[in-house]
A and B are shown apart, each in its own frame.
Chain A
Amino acid sequence: MAREIFEKKIKQIQDEILLLGSMVEQAALDSVAAFKNRDVQNAKNIIEDDQNINDKRFAIENAILILMATQQPLAHDLRLLSAMLLVANELERMGDYAKGIARNTVRLGIVDIPIPYRDIEKMSELAVGMLHRSLSAFVKEDIKMAVAIPPEDDEVDNLFNKCYRTIVNGMIANPATIDDASLLLWIVHDLERFSDRVINICERTVFIKSGEMMEMGASDEEMDELDGED
């Protein structure tokens, strides 16, 4: 039956998305570790490796477009393929955040202010955990699991605000550090945006299963205003 081939191909693409997800998770954790250890060489490797994430994203996109053109999916199939297209894009952008952290790690000089390493590390662990589970929910099409993840973003936001305060207070106390300390703001911002994008993945899981487009977190337009170059 024609569906056998179709379903096998969908499964292959799902596997590729999980693979892309684990590359992004690793990049995020590695970039924060490189930052914490001020390991410039490792940070440079992460920047370079981002190309692999981009390549995989395009390969997935291509496979989805071919499947759309040849199988002309409808209903659930159509929602699934379009959601996978979007999730691949989200993952690629999340890879860019990891790259952003690595790049700022390379740029960062000596910053003579207290750096909230522990909280930043905590943010990355929370965000990566959310991503991991959001992708499981996505491939399982588990709405219950997907809906439970976005509220966890509050804790990432709280940590972001805490780090932000600490860094800004440091800048006020020692204005000579502003140039470098502002790079720290970018780093925590990247992590905060990373977990926001996890919410988009959860929204797509609900969409695949129910056809409903539901906003679970702050709207992307709002957040994009805060997004700079990364």
Chain B
Amino acid sequence: MPDEVLPDEALFTAVMNPASRADPYPLYARLRERPVARQHDGSYVVSTHAAIRALLFDPRLSSEDLPPFKRPPTGNPIRDWILNPIRSRIATAHRPLIFRDPPDHDSLRAAVMREFTIPRVQGLRPRIAREVDALLDACRGRGRVCLVEDLSYPLPVSVICELLGVPESDEPRFQSWATQLATALEPDARHDVETRRRTVAAFDAISDYMRGLIREKRRRPVGDMLSGLATLRPNGLKPMSDFDLIATAILLLVAGHETTVNLITNAMLALLRHPKELERLRADPERAPRLIEEVLRYEPPVHFRTRKALGAITLAGETIPKGAPIILLFAAANRDPARFDDPDRFDPDRPDIEHFGFGGGLHYCVGAPLARIEAEIALVALSRRLVAPRLMQDPPPYRPGASLRGPEQLAIGIDGIA
């Protein structure tokens, strides 16, 4: 970013600017000067640890802030005036659980958690280890690893497909849909008609696919999570509707890998920038858990999420009016000097890394346990198998998203694969 003086109301606009992607942290520091800062568009950016902690547990914060799922015009009046509005209404009524409030949210989440069982998650370990080894084996004979396409991206896709029960042969299709749908989580993607058109197309395609897959799982349930969700008849609870089931499946797919891509890539970037830590991990894989928690603080995969105020909320001397959009800037809170000593230092040995890398409160990341396992196995393998790894480009190029922030590519020069 050019070192210009920005008014406080424009700071978040600057965060959204792709030019800020490689290092948004100076802007975050400026934002923290006013823990609850009103922006030009009437939204409020919340950026300190204490303020975010207070809001995460505040029942006046709604997650039902997803704007109506508006389809761009097709020119066909039946589509534009009848079919599409109906589909939009259905999609809005059956938003995935990250866009739902209690009590609906709670029953959806409970259904997912019943299927996201400990044995099912732990049982993925061997598969993840095999997959990581295979992906690294494929890099043999090359002078560099392109981490995102060689490992960070394909690993979570295959893991989430395995967990859900999506046939391996369909994985490539999933990748492109998921990438497109992930862009819809960025606030500015809602305005561009072409982006919206592509997102709607991906949504329709993946919905149709899921509908078919769920039908198949109902007919022949197997051990996977989708079979479990599709046949779930919990005692005393109404079963999930098909619309909710499809929305949930899509959410798990998208959230299950777009974020993990960033976690693995950001972690490796931090390690390459701090070679001593990479060396220590190589010598002692037991350091991986604390290393991953520090990455979740220092370079989290999701930088912010938006909410809406259901009532007026007074916090840190500012009153957020009813209905105002609220941006919870997790990544700024993670670097709050009021909470963490020397917050801009990467230090896995911090005594209490209470970060918002997985959010917090009601909507705490469902997939956190799985993300931790994937990151751990991947990082330990990378530390052991990459021979003389070095960063080829620093900073690396970033994907455009400001919320799901991570490198587009991470080129690592190597002398070989061990």
Decide whether A and B are members of one complex.
Answer: no
> Which residues of chain A have a CB within 8 Å of any CB of chain B?
none
